[in-house]
Amino acid sequence: MLEKELWTIKYAPKKESDIVGNPNAVKVIKEFLTKWSSKNEIKALLLLGPPGCGKTSSTNVLAKLNRFDVIEINASDVRNKKSIEEKLIPSLATRTIKKGVNKLYLIDEVDGLSGNQDRGGLSAMLKMVKLSKFPIIFTANNVHDKKFRSLRDKRSGIKIVKFQKIKNPTIVKVLQKICIAEKIQADPKALTEIAINVNNDLRSAINDLQAVCEGKKKLTLSDVRKIQQVRDTEKNIFEVLNIIFKNKDIQTCNRAVSMLDIDWGLLLHWVNEILPYHKVSSRTLFKSYKALSKADLIYNAIASNPEKISWSMLPYFIDIISSGVSLPIKNENKSHFVQYFRYSPSNFLNKMYASRSGELMNIVNKIRKKLKSSPEEIITKHLPFIALILKKRSPQSEYLKKFYELDRREITFIKNII
């Protein structure tokens, strides 16, 4: 193995005994593959569990051991009926050219589908299960939404296999093995901190470990807390946005904004990004944008000439950006849930405030080709890790550039994340 290789790849499970956690789920996958027949009542599995719990890695290991060629597909890439019928279903009758090797379709993130077109995609996937002469394994984090009822139907030919979160002590043991292999002296408290920070996501834990160990042979608790600062800021902004747009108490909103530890200009861009997604009337939206424009004028006046324009104007900015913008929306009394992480990360990551969301998604799509993660996971978990590596000149950073096929502009963009 190359020394500069990504540790999630370098230390990925190679045999069944390498898989950690979820022994019952692993047993079900193994039996499904070893006893596979197109005549079986169960033709597909739906692996259900949180990110980083081993759904995809377990499938790849067991498939290889049972001589299956894995064809990995992200559900978002074939999200409608037409694309599935044109791209996937014709291949269901095509055998592999390797003698004695069968095909296995691994379709990730089916719970990422949404909307009418995607519901057509789900029905096409069910058709694919019925027609397939090859085993199919779907993965999902959560399929409790009504639109996925068809996947949970016993008549679908799909069996649900539940994966549980990997416990922190198990994650720590994996990290300890990696440290021993890499000859890194690690403080047990630092490894425990990594495990706690990633919310039982083993893949993210390994990524964080590699990020903080870059160029080191000794890992301390303070090293780990550097990468967590990025996630704390992100978590903080989501909490504040929820307070701004859901709490009608003006003092509570203002206090939340005043305690937010990010650049005020960044907050302006974030609020501007998410306003249209609250699904209110055009009149209400006009009032909110009018308040936002006033906040923008005050902020730019302060930032452009702080010596002449006192920062004592900041309370006015805080009052307008919180209560002034959100009160018209709250007063309309239309409850609409907004997933802020879906719309605002481009502004969080772009500290120059330029409109470059397209560039961000180009980067995300490049990374998705290499990692089996959702766009949200890449933005919130992987990009901070990649940014830490790229900031240093090292064989590891050079490897990442080539591995993800990043050009100079994209590298500069990622470096500015943290």
Three-state secondary structure string covering the chain? CCCCCCHHHHCCCCCHHHCCCCHHHHHHHHHHHHCCCCCCCCCEEEEECCCCCCHHHHHHHHHHHCCEEEEEEEHHHHCCHHHHHHHCHHHHHCCCCCCCCEEEEEEECHHHCCHHHHHHHHHHHHHHHHHCCCCEEEEECCCCCHHHHHHHCHHHCEEEEECCCCCHHHHHHHHHHHHHHCCCEECHHHHHHHHHHCCCCHHHHHHHHHHHHCCCCEECHHHHHHHHHHHHHHHHHHHHHHHHHHCCCHHHHHHHHHCCCCCHHHHHHHHHHHHHHHCCCHHHHHHHHHHHHHHHHHHHHHHHCCCCCCHHHHHHHHHHHHHHHHHHHHHCCCCCCCCHHHHCHHHHHCCCCCCCHHHHHHHHHHHHHHCCCCHHHHHHHHHHHHHHHHCCCCHHHHHHHHHCCCCHHHHHHHHCCC
pLDDT of 27 reads 93
Instruction: Name the pairing type of β-strands 44-48 and 158-162.
Output: parallel
Which tokens is 140 given? 């999902």
Low-confidence ranges of the chain (pLDDT < 50): 1-3, 114-118, 344-357
Distance from the Cα of residue 220 to its chain's centroid: 27
| Alpha-carbon dihedral angle through residues 150, 152, 153, 156, given to the nearest 10 degrees | 80
**Residue whose C-alpha is closest to residue 135's, from 74, 92, 97:** 92
pLDDT of 125 reads 74
Class level of CATH domain 21-162: alpha beta
pLDDT of 185 reads 93
pLDDT of 297 reads 86
Which tokens is 206 given? 């390994």
**Residue whose C-alpha is closest to residue 388's, from 223, 240, 236:** 223
**Residue whose C-alpha is closest to residue 367's, from 315, 325, 411:** 411
- Which fold would CATH assign to domain 171-231? Helicase, Ruva Protein; domain 3 (1.10.8)
